[in-house]
Amino acid sequence: MSETPHIDIDYVAKLARLDMTEEEKSKLGAQLDDILGYFDKLNSVDVEGVEPMAHAHRVANVWREGDQPDETYAPEILTGMAPDQRDNQVVVPKVVE
Amino acid sequence: MSDLHFKTITELAAMLAAGETTSVAITQAVIERTAAVDGQVKAFLSSDPEDALAQAKTSDERRTSGKAIGPLDGIPIGIKDTLAVKGQPLRCASKMLENYVSPFDATCITKLREAGAIIWGRLNMDEFAMGSSTENSAFQTTCNPWNLETIPGGSSGGSAAAMSAGEAIATLGTDTGGSIRQPAALCGVVGMKPTYGLISRYGLVAFASSLDQVGPFARTVEDAALLMEAMLGKDPLDSTSIAPQGETNYAAALKEKKGPWKLGVPQEFFGEGIDPEVKVNIEKAIDWYKEQGCEIVDISLPHSELAVPVYYIVATAEASSNLARFDGVRYGHRSDEAKDALTLFTKSRGEGFGDEVKRRIILGTYVLSSGYYDAYYLRAQKVRRRILGDFEKAFEQVDAILTPTSPTPAFKRGERANDPLAMYSSDVYTISVNLAGLPAISIPSGFTENGLPIGLQVIGKAFGEADMFAIANAFEQGHDYYKAVPAL
């Protein structure tokens, strides 16, 4: 990475499913270039053979014991949080033609 | 108005036990104080005085019938807006969750309730805990009680300001890169981030899951220790929570442990970027420990300067993944312009999230995207291990590490709002601790000439909270700084 790549904001915003105005994009573009330039500091360190660290402790998979379901919530509590709902179901715009 | 709101948990617990006051009186004092000063401080997003007084009445009845639980019974504790409290708004200071009400209690809240504490109000923060000044809240800007023109720090700025102004006896915050310790330093109170995994994250809205931890703000180290004792422990609802190791009777232990300790001072934390007054103040604190017979060891944490870039890759990557859940379908904001599946997501997210959250989602999505993953995310994870290695090496020699908490005292509102890199540098001394999963505490260590608080950071070994508290307590009790309160 001798040259800092310029982020294609339209492409990344599409990946992130995030709508942004032209004004937001142009402001962010300049800031992101600065931030990515700053990330280049990481190239100064030799990481050959270093194991990546995703977590502070070594934690293995944790499996639930048995099949006892935990206490849960009434459907109306859960669907009641949705922006639109009917008959204990979440209503969304039409998604299939 | 009584002065109950500025007392410590320990003092109030003794008064309650002696029948000199009641939980209702304490809670009433906190409610009245909040009514009197929060118009200036703006720490609370919402509060429910009736609910708090009802909890206090229950506590008093329990005490009258001889069933008082312990030191936290009857003590009002303010809660950051990122922790779930059943029946209360949970908005993360975001328009995305403007109308959300939590259906359950976070585990740390359940544990505080079991200890008899009064759960009090919703405290302002940077949106989704992303920020260092609490200016990124979608609803209001919190002021530093020591100088209302300045920021309280962040992201738990409401928790720090409310603590400092006497609007709660203690508060809870969350710390992903310094979000408890930095505002604690800037507001002149105690703020502590535990070893990763010690407190369950169940019911904490996820920002960067490998870094996020819940922790207390308090007036004294002993109070913070009492809160930690109540909240810690492995939780079946959070598979990254861990059973504590070693001494956990922190409050009792901090009085018994007298040192002298071997304390490391990393040269890298006193170089470029530090405010001269902060530097002198922390050097004076280090001299104090030396005068008490502690051995001061010069140590090196050579990868420290890489902690900020590593953090902004790891944390944004995790955030972009965690925040994918806000899609306008099951809860949260839904755009009126949503016409199909795609615009349901894009429009709802575009309208619901603020500038900093969008910045981090884009950055996180980018560093995880095909072609850039290895160069950024994978490389950052490897450097993260180097940072941990620095600490492991240092802790072979020393019991704890002393540093400034923040390179500068509180800065003016708006000063860094349009300069993300300057804002990110606010956390330069706190971030490496989260990357390494270690415990650390910020305690008041004095004031600048302009009367702004300065904080000393004590970093402990993993699960070394007992020693860390004892070392911090020694300094606190050797000085009067913790007794100072802002004039409002």
B211 domain-assigned:
yes
B408 domain-assigned:
no
Give the structural domain span for B58. 4-256+465-483
Amino acid at B147: N
Question: Kindly report the CA angle at B29 between B23 and B35, in degrees rounded to 5?
Answer: 135
The residue-averaged pLDDT of B344-369 equals 97
Helix/strand/coil for B34: helix
B306: Cα within 13 Å, side-chain hemisphere: 26
B207 domain-assigned:
yes
B304 domain-assigned:
no
The residue-averaged pLDDT of B84-103 equals 97
Closest partner residue to B384 among A17, A35, A53, by Cβ?
Answer: A53
B204 domain-assigned:
yes
How far is the alpha carbon of B291 from chain A, nearest alpha carbon, in Å? 35
Q: And the tokens for B475?
A: 């300094």
Q: How far apart (Å, rounded) are the C-alpha atoms in residues B322 and B399?
A: 36
Listed in sequence order, the residues at least 6 apart from B419 whose beta carbon sits closer than 8 Å to its beta carbon are none
Longest dimension (CA), chain A: 59
Contacts with B240 from chain A: Cβ below 8 Å: 55, 57, 59
Indicate the pLDDT class of residue B370, thresholds 50, 70 and 90: very high
CB B430 within 8 A of CB B178: yes
How far is the alpha carbon of A51 from chain B, nearest alpha carbon, in Å? 6
Helix or strand holding residue B63 (H, E)? helix B49-64
How far is the alpha carbon of B268 from chain A, nearest alpha carbon, in Å? 16
Identify from A4, A8, A19 which residue to disrupt to test chain B contact, counting B C-beta atoms within 10 A and taking the largest count. Answer: A19
B453 domain-assigned:
no
Q: How many domains does chain B divide into? A: 1
What share of chain B has pLDDT > 70, as a percent? Answer: 100
Q: What is the mean pLDDT of chain B?
A: 96
pLDDT of residue A2: 39
B431-440 CB burial, b ≥16 within 10 A, e <16: bbbbbbbbbb
Q: And the tokens for B192?
A: 């502590």
ipTM of the complex model: 0.92
Residue A30: Cβ-neighbour burial (10 angstroms; 0-12, 13-18, 19+): exposed
B187 domain-assigned:
yes
pLDDT tens-digit series, residues A17-38: 999 999 999 889 888 888 998 8
B86 touches chain A (CB under 8 A): no
pLDDT tens-digit series, residues A73-85: 899 998 999 999 9
Question: Kindly report the CA angle at B229 between B224 and B233, in degrees rounded to 5?
Answer: 130
Q: How far apart (Å, rounded) are the C-alpha atoms in residues B409 and B151?
A: 10
Higher local confidence (pLDDT), B134 or A60: B134
Domain of residue B15, CATH code: 3.90.1300.10
pLDDT tens-digit series, residues B229-249: 999 999 989 999 999 999 999
CA distances from B394 to A91, B127, B237, B461 (A): 56, 35, 34, 10
Q: How far apart (Å, rounded) are the C-alpha atoms in residues B438 and B436?
A: 6
pLDDT above 70 for A3: no
Which candidate in B155, B159, B425, B426 is catalytic? B155
Indicate the pLDDT class of residue A5, thresholds 50, 70 and 90: low
pLDDT tens-digit series, residues B404-462: 999 999 999 999 888 888 888 889 999 999 999 999 999 999 999 999 999 999 999 99
pLDDT above 50 for A1: no
B405 domain-assigned:
no
Listed in sequence order, the residues at least 6 apart from B467 whose beta carbon sits closer than 8 Å to its beta carbon are B257, B261, B399, B400, B460, B461
Indicate the pLDDT class of residue A97, thresholds 50, 70 and 90: confident
B210/A38 CB distance under 8 A: no
